[in-house]
């Protein structure tokens, strides 16, 4: 019983973190959204983003061994070749927006 309560807590924490991260992503996309996406398209995109973030958090928190993460991002994949390193934009504090 204790394991299932712990699992429920982890699931809720992942959901909360995914929602927060999705809000940060959404806020960062605001200029792109206003130029290129309708509100309807953004409503469709938001749950896709949230679910992808939740999947990543689940993988990290439940299977957080580096081998599991490395298996998901295979060497030579589009992500490993084409994506730049991440970092906070200067002057941007997402949670204050």
Average pLDDT over residues 57-69: 70
The pLDDT score that the predictor gives to residue 7 is 76
Instruction: Please check whether residue 9 is in contact with residue 17, taking contact to mean a CB–CB distance below 8 angstroms.
Output: no
Long-range CB pairs of 64-72 (<8 Å, 24+ gap) are: none
pLDDT value of position 4: 63
Q: Are 14 and 58 in contact (CB under 8 A)?
A: yes
pLDDT (0 to 100) of residue 66: 67
Q: Residue 77 and residue 94: Cα distance in Å, rounded? A: 29
25 or 68, which is more confident?
25
Which residue carries 């949670």 as its tokens?
95
- DSSP-derived 3-state class of residue 84: coil
Residue ranges of the domains in the chain?
2-83
Q: Is pLDDT of 1 > 50?
A: no
Residue 19 has pLDDT above 60, yes or no: yes
């Amino acid at each position: 019983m204790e394991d299932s309560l712990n699992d429920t807590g982890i699931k809720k924490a992942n959901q909360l973190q995914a929602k927060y991260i999705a809000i940060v992503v959404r806020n960062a996309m605001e200029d792109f959204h206003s130029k290129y996406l309708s509100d309807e398209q953004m409503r469709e995109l938001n749950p896709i983003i949230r679910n992808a973030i939740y999947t990543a958090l689940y993988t990290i928190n439940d299977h957080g061994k580096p081998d599991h993460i490395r298996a998901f991002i295979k060497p030579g994949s589009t992500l490993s070749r084409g994506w730049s390193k991440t970092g906070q934009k200067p002057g941007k504090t997402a949670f204050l927006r």
